[in-house]
């Protein structure tokens, strides 16, 4: 038979205080996380505004940045096409050489 454990007033008080302490710790942790989140948002906003101000003071507009990015992507696309075509030609030559070697055997 299982022994019955008597729950005393002191045990109830200990459990109650432990629960209160746990809730208190959760509240402190939540407050810390909220404050940290607000500080991070503010610093990111300031950083973004600072970067925008630096670009504007340098005389660079967003439309100019977009056009530069678009131009870079177009150049990369053209370079990728050329690279792909060269790779296809190389593979075709290798196939031809392999077929010639097989015929010579």
Query: What are the pLDDT digits (tens) for 7-47?
Result: 788 888 999 999 999 999 999 999 999 999 999 999 999 99
Distance from C-alpha of 54 to C-alpha of 31, rounded to nearest angstrom:
35
55, with CB counted inside 10 A (0-12, 13-18, 19+), is middle
pTM above 0.75, yes or no: no
- Same structural domain for residues 89 and 104? yes
Is 3 inside any structural domain? no
Q: What separation in angstroms does the CA of 68 have from each of 50, 58, 63, 64, 105?
A: 21, 15, 9, 6, 56
- Same structural domain for residues 13 and 34? yes
Is 2 inside any structural domain? no
Is 88 inside any structural domain? yes
- Same structural domain for residues 38 and 73? no
**Domains in the chain, number:** 2
- pLDDT tens-digit map of 66-89: 899 999 999 999 999 999 999 999
Domain interval for residue 103 = 62-105
Distance from C-alpha of 103 to C-alpha of 99, rounded to nearest angstrom:
6
């Amino acid at each position: 038979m299982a022994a019955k454990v008597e729950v005393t007033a002191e045990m109830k008080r200990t459990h109650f205080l432990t629960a209160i302490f746990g809730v208190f710790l959760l509240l402190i942790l939540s407050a810390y996380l909220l404050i940290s989140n607000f500080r991070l948002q503010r610093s990111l906003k300031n950083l973004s505004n600072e970067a925008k101000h630096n670009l504007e003071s340098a005389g660079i507009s967003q439309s100019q940045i977009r056009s530069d990015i678009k131009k870079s992507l177009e150049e990369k696309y053209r370079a990728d096409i050329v690279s792909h075509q060269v790779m296809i030609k190389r593979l075709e030559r290798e196939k031809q050489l392999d077929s010639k070697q097989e015929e010579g055997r």
